[in-house]
Amino acid sequence: MDSPQTLFEKVWRPHEVAAETPDTPAILYIDLHLIHEVTSPQAFTVLRERGLGVRRPELTFATMDHSTPTRTEQVFGGAPIAIEAAARQVRELEVNCHAFGVELLGLRHARRGIVHVIGPELGLTQPGKTVVCGDSHTSTHGALGALAFGIGTTEVGHVLATQCLLQKKPRTLAINVNGRLAAGVTAKDLILAIIGTIGVAGGTGFVIEYRGATIRALDMDERMTVCNMSIEAGARAGMIAPDETTYAYLAGRLRVPQGEAWEQALEEWRQLPTDAGARFDKEIDIDAAALEPMVTYGTNPGMVIPISGSIPQRPGDAMFAKSLAYMGFEPGRPVAEQPVNVVFVGSCTNGRLSDLRDAASLLRGRKVAPGVQMLVVPGSKEVKRAAEAEGLHTVFLEAGAEWREPGCSMCLGMNGDLVPKGQYAVSTSNRNFEGRQGVGARTLLASPLTAAASAVRGRVTDPRELL
Amino acid sequence: MDAIKTFRSRTVVLAASDVDTDQIIPARFLTTTTRSGLGANLFADWRYGSDGAARADFVLNRPEAQGCTILVAGNNFGCGSSREHAPWALTDYGFRAVVSTQFADIFRANALKNRLVPVIVDQATHGWLVEHPGADVTVDLESTTLMLPAGRAVRFPLEPFARYCLMNGVDELGFLLGRQTEIVAYEQRLRSATVASVAG
Ligand code: SF4
């Protein structure tokens, strides 16, 4: 009898073109390669220089999201893309996809969106697949039981040319989550709490499998939020075993197998969950019932506290002091009640329909506080359409928020959607690094509920006060 | 590609831990479509004031840091975004090695592909290096050691394959292309075994 295997091993093994040896890494076959405008141009240049083509264009899929505008007139005409270099990247991706036969969801395509939102949405991401993209939040796709991780541009070139990557086999980390999340506490709060517990390097060298009753009870949007931020704990990939929730989500999507092939795929997917008795290299237990809404106070996602808590004291830690100085905070004080200038709801972490519903639920019949700019950016055109069909956009607009075209937007500010210097932003994105949302911008990461509550009050607010 | 065997330099020390790739090269410089020229904006928000002038208090701007090719960095260097622009900026600036106690996974992989050597050392060695900026050190790939002044030397971990590629100027793409037969055989095995496909 075969020894019990983890989900990770069950995906990794069948993709080994050649297993790891003492002298060489494994050659791993890639089932789905997602590309975008920022990390692909130099890879295509290498293909050209070496006279190579794309080995499996039908397994390669392109979109544009990072540097694209979110203002309707810049997307659909009437105004040029404000940043010339961004416009050049968009054009270059169009040219490359055309020349190499890669399918592209271009700027005006009805299904364009953030790469990690549209992969699952289109049914491209499936259980058991290996998925890569030149972007660290590729870990998102692990929510469907895929092995998905971010790669650099040189590796993008490797996959384009050979459909393979040289990889050292990572170790496995089980994060067992049990207990019911309280009202007002979301998947975002859960993953922030996990990162706060294991630290921003706690997952380095590991693939995480999120397990336990709490994870099983999450819907797909929530599972994606959790897996998305695996990289903020240093783990390249986060995975959740596929189950009926996964299959119900995938059923009928555009690119999933249909008819008899669907039945056969289901049969295979049902074999994927970790066997009883399989060993992980490391295990951690988290009690979800004890969690509160979480908010970051520093300049990495591990610097996070419950919203009712206070910033810790770390005398003698110069880095900590520097980080707080950047944020304009002192140790020992709470973050709640901090006045905010900007609120951003969006990104591949929290730009899906359920996130927008959460934010709208607190904004309905309320107003964004005077002086606060609130930006709501759907993760994809599909999310935008679905939200508009429910009237969510009206809720946002009537509350005084802006409703934009999909893209990464203020998550990294490449397209000009920036937080002004020194201002405080409550953001549903994933990184609060210095300058991430603009030079001198001060980012507080939180859930869509906390973001919306903070927009209404104009200060960092526990969403449970408005539920 | 150039083969690398050994190189020597004074060190420059940037001891902060968890330095993310957004600090190494901020997102607004990622609109480039080439690999070159990023060195000018390495650590841009720490290196230059809002007026664009070099900040005298930033370590890379000090006279003694000029010409140094070995960076001593803090724990978990290169975390965050997978942007290969980070090692491109470091190598374009002139760095050939970064010494730390730990590197983020994707950064380390990207660094090796750009012939930027990630040197992992123990806490004690790291502590000594942080306290002695400008130390004259040598990275030797033959023996995978970091040689410190006064004859001290510490081994650092480096996978045999990565070491082989660095020392022989081999690039991984060439290696993978050389394994085409196995890739084709794998694809044929797969085609006969499964029907699930992305085409729909
Ligand atoms: S939304 Fe933010 S984190 Fe996600 S892919 Fe875009 S830039 Fe990266």
Is the predicted pLDDT of residue B195 greater than 70, yes or no?
A: no
Two structure tokens written together for A154: 């040189």
Is the predicted pLDDT of residue B199 greater than 50, yes or no?
A: no
Is the same domain home to A56 and A76?
Answer: yes
Nearest chain A residue to B112 by CA distance is: A154
Reduced to 3 states, what is the DSSP secondary structure of residue A18?
Answer: strand
Is the same domain home to B198 and B152?
Answer: no
**Cβ contact (<8 Å) for B179 and A17?**
yes
Pairing of strands A26-29, A164-167: antiparallel
Report if residue B161 sits inside a domain: yes
Core vs surface per residue A138-152: b (16+ CB within 10 A) or e = bbbbbbbbbbbbbbb
Q: Choose the mutation target among B31, B113, B171, B182 for the interface with A, i.e. most A CBs under 10 Å.
A: B31
A365, burial (CB in 10 Å: exposed 0-12, middle 13-18, buried 19+): exposed
* Total length of chain B: 200
Beta carbons of B10 and B68 less than 8 angstroms apart: yes
The preferred substitution site among A40, A66, A376 for testing ligand 1, maximizing ligand atoms within 8 Å of CB, is: A66
CATH code: domain of residue A40: 3.30.499.10
Nearest atom (ligand 1) to Cα of A349:
4
Report if residue A181 sits inside a domain: yes
The preferred substitution site among A412, A430, A433 for testing ligand 1, maximizing ligand atoms within 8 Å of CB, is: A412
Report if residue B1 sits inside a domain: no
pLDDT at A81: 86
A411 CB near ligand 1 (under 6 Å) = yes
d(CA A5, CA A276): 8
Task: Bin A151: left if φ > 0, else alpha if -120 < ψ < 50, else beta.
Answer: beta
Is the same domain home to A302 and A429?
Answer: yes
Is the same domain home to A189 and A117?
Answer: no
Confidence of residue B194 (pLDDT cuts 50, 70, 90): low
Is the same domain home to B154 and B91?
Answer: yes
pLDDT at A224: 98
Q: List, for residues A218-248, the tens digit of each pLDDT value.
A: 999 999 999 999 999 999 999 999 999 999 9
pLDDT at B186: 97
The count of CB pairs under 8 A between chains A and B is 192
Is the same domain home to B190 and B157?
Answer: no
Residue A93's φ and ψ, nearest 5 degrees, are -65, -40
Q: Which of A45, A236, A63 is nearest to A154 (CA)?
A: A45
Is the same domain home to A421 and A313?
Answer: yes
B3: contact with A, CB 8 A cutoff: no
Is the predicted pLDDT of residue B13 greater than 70, yes or no?
A: yes
Q: Which of A357, A28, A340 is nearest to B109 (CA)?
A: A28
**Cβ contact (<8 Å) for A257 and B200?**
yes
CB atoms within 10 A of CB B150: 5
Is the same domain home to A182 and A54?
Answer: no
Q: List, for residues B33-86, the tens digit of each pLDDT value.
A: 999 999 999 999 999 998 999 999 999 999 999 999 999 999 999 999 999 999
d(CA B156, CA B15): 19
Please state the domain count of chain B.
2
Is the same domain home to A321 and A418?
Answer: yes
Give distance in angstroms: CA of B81 to centre of ligand 1.
9
pLDDT < 50: residue spans in chain A: none
Report if residue A253 sits inside a domain: no
Q: Looking at this protein, which amino acid is placed at residue A294? A: M
A231 CB near ligand 1 (under 6 Å) = no
**Cβ contact (<8 Å) for A136 and B82?**
yes
pLDDT at B129: 98
pLDDT at B198: 41
Is the predicted pLDDT of residue B29 greater than 90, yes or no?
A: yes
In chain A, residues with a C-beta closer than 8 Å to the C-beta of B19 are none
pTM of the model: 0.96
Please state the domain count of chain A.
3
Confidence of residue B196 (pLDDT cuts 50, 70, 90): very low
Beta carbons of B116 and B73 less than 8 angstroms apart: no
Report if residue A258 sits inside a domain: no
Is the same domain home to A277 and A306?
Answer: no
Report if residue B97 sits inside a domain: yes
Q: List, for residues B44-57, the tens digit of each pLDDT value.
A: 999 999 899 999 99
**Cβ contact (<8 Å) for B82 and A39?**
yes
Q: Looking at this protein, which amino acid is placed at residue A421? A: K
Give distance in angstroms: CA of A263 to centre of ligand 1.
34
Q: List, for residues A269-303, the tens digit of each pLDDT value.
A: 999 999 999 999 999 999 999 999 999 999 999 99
A467, burial (CB in 10 Å: exposed 0-12, middle 13-18, buried 19+): exposed
Confidence of residue B193 (pLDDT cuts 50, 70, 90): low
Is the same domain home to A130 and A146?
Answer: yes
The residues with which B145 forms a beta bridge, in sequence order, are: B140, B155
**Cβ contact (<8 Å) for A83 and B30?**
no
Give distance in angstroms: CA of A445 to centre of ligand 1.
14
Is the same domain home to B162 and B181?
Answer: no
d(CA A207, CA A139): 10
Report if residue A40 sits inside a domain: yes
Given A136, A167, A198, the domain boundary residue is A167
In chain B, residues with a C-beta closer than 8 Å to the C-beta of A236 are 105-106
Is the same domain home to A193 and A112?
Answer: no
Considering only the beta carbons, identify the residue of A18, A46, A86 that sits closest to B31: A86
Is the same domain home to A279 and A372?
Answer: no
Two structure tokens written together for A247: 């299959």
Is the same domain home to B34 and B122?
Answer: yes
Is the same domain home to A51 and A112?
Answer: yes
A156 CB near ligand 1 (under 6 Å) = no
Which residues 6+ apart lie within 8 Å of B199 measured at CB? Answer: A58, A255
A135 CB near ligand 1 (under 6 Å) = yes
pLDDT at A275: 98
C-alpha pair distances (Å), B96 with each of A56, A187, A408, B59, B72: 35, 41, 33, 17, 11
pLDDT at B190: 85
Domain membership of residue A111 as a residue range: 7-167
CATH code: domain of residue B138: 3.20.19.10
pLDDT at B185: 97
- Which DSSP string corresponds to A66-111? SS---SHHHHHSSS--S-HHHHHHHHHHHHHHHHHT-EEE-TT-TT
Is the same domain home to B137 and B94?
Answer: yes
Report if residue B158 sits inside a domain: yes
**Cβ contact (<8 Å) for A236 and B105?**
yes
Let me know the angle formed at the C-alpha of A206 by A200 and A207, rounded to the nearest 5 degrees. Answer: 110
Q: List, for residues A139-151, the tens digit of each pLDDT value.
A: 999 999 999 999 9
Domain membership of residue B64 as a residue range: 6-169
> For chain A, first and last CA: distance in Å?
53
Report if residue A13 sits inside a domain: yes
Pairing of strands A16-18, A103-105: unpaired
Is the same domain home to A161 and A175?
Answer: no
